[in-house]
């Protein structure tokens, strides 16, 4: 589902070139759940953005569901994202001028689904927010906004979902709700889940765990069943 080979990311700063990600090679099979942990500033968000096609690699290869992300321009990456990728940002990134249901519908409308509204209602119900469909983000709590963001990420039934600290801004009770929801949707839809987190419980819940340390990624746990190797 994801395969990288010697992926690196350099950025230029006024003190010269900075290597944010050292050559990274790893593979994630379809349907797996993967956590990336590590200190702040170690490169986790940069890696997630590259894997999701939000940013361009400096060197190396990334294949997403067999497609060579590293050869694509911004528009091609956007198309691939629309077709296969969901992304949950730590800061929710909801459109403030749209209601909950309008936020959820947005990607489906862009993708041209004729039943965008019905699907959005359905998925809002799954995240327990159907009664809040017509509220604006600033009328919702942090946990509720995060659930809207999750509903939005799932409406296109993405093959792969990236989440950057999905419980980072939430209290314990809301974190637990979000965690349950992520794994339920992963189980129901078979979505591959790659998340960055500081939440040990959430990381433990994943089959595989990677640790990022100053731009170097290493695997620290792998309990994925062997049968997943087929995908
Ligand atoms: N565009 C950029 N220009 C310069 N430095 C950057 C840029 N993007 C990220 N960085 C730096 O790269 C490092 C990794 O950032 P990030 O991936 O956000 O880390 P994490 O998500 O693990 O906290 C940080 O030191 C950050 O300041
Ligand atoms: Mg980050």
pLDDT number for residue 119: 92
CA distance 160 to 198: 21
CATH of the domain at 102: 3.40.50.300
Work out the angle at residue 158's Cα, subtended by the Cα atoms of residues 3 and 46, and round it to the nearest 5 degrees. 50
pTM over 0.85: yes
In tens, the pLDDT along 25-42 reads: 999 999 999 999 999 999
Residue 49 falls inside a structural domain: yes
Residue 225 falls inside a structural domain: no
pLDDT number for residue 227: 60
What is the distance in A from the centroid of ligand 1 to the CA of 202? 23
Residue 12 falls inside a structural domain: yes
| Residue entry with tokens 């950025």 | 11
Residue 82 in this model has a pLDDT that exceeds 90: no
Residue 230 in this model has a pLDDT that exceeds 60: no
Tell me which of 19, 40, 43 to substitute to probe ligand 1's pocket, judged by most ligand atoms within 8 Å of the beta carbon.
43
Structural domains in the chain (count): 1
Q: Are 6 and 63 in contact (CB under 8 A)?
A: no
Phi first, then psi, for residue 133 (nearest 5°) are: -55, -35
Q: Are 93 and 162 in contact (CB under 8 A)?
A: no
CA distance 37 to 35: 6
CA distance 70 to 92: 27
pLDDT number for residue 112: 84
Residue 24 in this model has a pLDDT that exceeds 70: yes
Q: What is the rounded average pLDDT of the residues 151-158?
A: 89
What is the distance in A from the centroid of ligand 1 to the CA of 162? 18
Residue 102 falls inside a structural domain: yes
| Residue entry with tokens 């990728």 | 85
Residue 228 in this model has a pLDDT that exceeds 80: no
Residue 231 falls inside a structural domain: no
Strand pairing partners for 162?
87, 194
pLDDT number for residue 55: 94
Domain containing 63 equals 2-219
């Amino acid at each position: 589902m994801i395969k990288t080979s010697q992926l690196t990311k350099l950025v230029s700063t006024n003190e010269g070139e900075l290597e944010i990600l050292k050559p990274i090679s790893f593979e994630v099979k379809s349907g797996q759940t993967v956590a990336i942990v590590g200190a702040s500033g170690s490169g986790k968000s940069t890696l997630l953005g590259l894997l999701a096609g939000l940013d361009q690699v400096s060197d190396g290869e990334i294949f997403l569901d067999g497609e060579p992300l590293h050869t694509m321009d911004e528009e091609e990456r956007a198309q691939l994202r629309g077709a296969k990728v969901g992304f949950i940002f730590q800061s929710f990134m909801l459109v403030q001028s749209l209601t909950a249901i309008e936020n959820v519908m947005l990607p489906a409308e862009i993708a041209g689904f004729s039943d965008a509204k019905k699907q959005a209602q359905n998925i809002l119900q799954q995240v327990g927010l159907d009664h809040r469909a017509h509220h604006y983000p600033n009328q919702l709590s942090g946990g509720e906004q995060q659930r809207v963001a999750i509903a939005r990420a799932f409406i296109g039934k993405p093959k792969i979902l990236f989440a950057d600290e999905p419980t980072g801004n939430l209290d314990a009770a809301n974190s637990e709700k979000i965690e349950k929801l992520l794994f339920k949707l992963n189980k129901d839809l078979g979505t591959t889940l790659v998340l960055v987190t500081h939440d040990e419980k959430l990381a433990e819940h994943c089959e595989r765990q990677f640790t990022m340390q100053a731009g170097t990624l290493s695997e620290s746990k792998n309990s994925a069943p062997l049968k997943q190797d087929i995908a």
